[in-house]
Structure 1
């Protein structure tokens, strides 16, 4: 899942080397923390959050077979 998130985000940003995804797994959920360079946050979120919503939609669809709930946090 981490590779999927990085693959989607890297082409969007000016500093692709600073894209990092950390996974935090708990009993009933998995949270992915996406962090990018401070100048690229707006590009990942997009106008009115459209790009962030699209990224989350793809991630949630890819994790639909999982028994745990998946969350994506953009920092």
Structure 2
């Protein structure tokens, strides 16, 4: 999952070196924390959160047997 999120997000942002993805297993839920450069935050979230929602949809489709939570951290 980490590699998938990194690949998607690095294609969206300008500051690729600032992309950090951390995976934390919490019971049956996989929590993914995404950190990007503050200037790229809007690109990752998108208008009305559409880009973030699309990334989450891809994650849900990639792991139907496990719950996944994506947190975008400043």
User: RMSD in angstroms over aligned alpha carbons?
Assistant: 0.8
Distance 2:30 2:11 in 1: 25
Residue 14 of structure 2: aligned partner: 14
Distance 2:46 2:37 in 1: 15
Distance 1:25 1:7 in 2: 21
Structure with greater proportional helix content: 2
User: How far apart are residue 30 of structure 1 and its match?
Assistant: 1.0
Residue 33 of structure 1: aligned partner: 33
Q: Which runs of 5+ in 1 are unaligned?
A: none
Residue 71 of structure 2: aligned partner: 73
Normalising by the residue count of structure 1, what TM-score does the alignment of the two structures yield? 0.92
Segments of 4+ in structure 1 off by > 3 A? none
Count of aligned pairs: 73
